[in-house]
Chain A
Amino acid sequence: MTARLSFPTIIGAATLAATPVAAQQIGAPGKLLLTNGISTVEGAAGGGLTPWATIAGNATRDGIGGQASVTVAELPDYDFRSYAVAAGLFDRVELSYARQVFDTNKVGGALGLGNDFAFDQDVWGAKVRLAGDMVYGSRWMPAIAVGVQHKKSLDATVVRAIGAAQRSGTDFYASATKLFLDWSLLANVTVRATKANQLGLLGHGGALRDDHGVQVEASAAYQLSRRLVIGAEYRSKPSNLAIAREDDWWDAFVAYAIDRRLTATIAYTDLGSIATFNKQRGLVVQLQGSF
């Protein structure tokens, strides 16, 4: 007798075989509290501004997790929103997506774009943890990850009009992150090759420069308790556009794990000059859910 397996049978068998593994993960113990980080404005897990060598979601190397967040920044002349989702596979691979909305309020009118014109952007990200662990193992061996972020402005005509060479571009980065338990201190350094203007919201490249330059980003966070962390971040940025200077970014944040699934973050940030409007300092709030 010849057994002929139809395609649905094979899929069915594969599903059955996979189910016990998947079911085992539901409600299984996961990462240590807060070690999945928060969501960066570009969707990757990390601090608020810079990605860390941690993988999104609560799952360990034995499972699949994810996180989703909404980030709101209220600046003197602009409002910024980022809606992000990320999946973490086996504490090894992270896939992320963020939609950024940068509302120009009255600046839009002044620039001839119309009041409340919003620059929109999609950011698709992938990250792989290559080696090390943020918490365990040798105390001097950090988690090390590399990642890419492909960014595409949804306002091609406008970003070209203000001098961007391209509407889309790709950032490449490497991050090293370690929680130094001796000092309750998490440190992260990220090196990024990019030519994005204001994250890519204003396109990529320009009259001053149109190739990838190396930028440095850093985070430091101090654990006050299992649930409460305070910290600061710095992110250097290129300045490619002739019409508007771009500044490095800073923030100081407080993150609180309401429970394993919910993290709230409040930050004060200094984004410098954006599209000729200086001193863009303000409050950032993020709510993140994860599993």
Chain B
Amino acid sequence: MLLSLAALLMGPALQAATPPAPHAMPGEEAVDPYRVDPANVGAAPFTGDGMARAFGGQHGIRRIVDRFVRSNFADPRIGEIFANQDQVRLKRTLFEQFCYILAAGCTYTGRDMRSAHKNMGVQQGDMNRLVENLQRAMTAEKVPFAAQNRFLAKLAPMRGHIVER
């Protein structure tokens, strides 16, 4: 009992002392420790390089993610959900997630979708708005619409881990 209380009290201090994970970018805020596992990505990656090519490879994916993240932070409707999020980390982990699922030669080091979206208060309409921002970012990068939908098909089953009931 006493021991667990001590652990509870020391927990935050221990975390604060934890050095940033080796895959973190400079400027990222620390997150609670988690087990790094590509399976955290939440979808089975595509096979073959067709989808990676449709998205313009890693360069295209990076431009899509940058545009997508910027538009979400600037969004008049859902921007406030992102206001307190770590944009540097989000850009990195989203890039990894997209790149890994699209089989464009990356691994995923981020958290699973349930942990990453915990207590964010995402509602269904917010998620739809986010999907539309992603569609705009993919369209701006000239990703064919059918390929956009094939990618969204990988993300759509994650809804239950993102939207709060």
Contact = CB atoms under 8 A, between A and B. Distances in A.
Contacts of B28: none
Query: Chain B at the A interface: mostly helix, strand, loop or mixed?
Result: helix
A221 B141 CA distance: 26
Given A60-B125, A139-B156, A184-B149, A29 B135 contact: no
The prevalent SS among residues of A at the interface is loop
Given A60-B123, A62-B123, A28 B77 contact: yes
Q: Report the interface size class on chain B.
A: 20 to 34
Contact of B124 (A62, A181, A226): A62
Contacts of A63: 125
Interface residues of A, number: 28
Interface string A26-54: 01111111000000000000000000000
B153 interface: yes
A138 to B, nearest CB: 6
Contacts of A33: 132
Interface string B62-94: 000000000000000110000000000000000
Interface in A50-66: 59-63
A135 B125 contact: no
Interface in B99-134: 123-129, 131-132
A32 B157 contact: no
B128 A184 contact: no
B146 interface: yes
A224 B77 contact: no
Interface in A175-191: 180-184
Nearest to B145: A225
A137 interface: yes
B153 A136 contact: no
B159 interface: yes
A60 B124 contact: yes
Nearest to A91: B124
24 contacts: A28-B125, A29-B78, A29-B125, A29-B126, A30-B125, A31-B125, A32-B131, A32-B132, A61-B124, A63-B125, A91-B124, A136-B156, A137-B159, A139-B153, A139-B157, A180-B153, A181-B152, A181-B156, A182-B150, A183-B146, A223-B149, A225-B145, A226-B132, A226-B145
Interface of A: 27-33, 59-63, 91, 133, 135-139, 180-184, 223-226
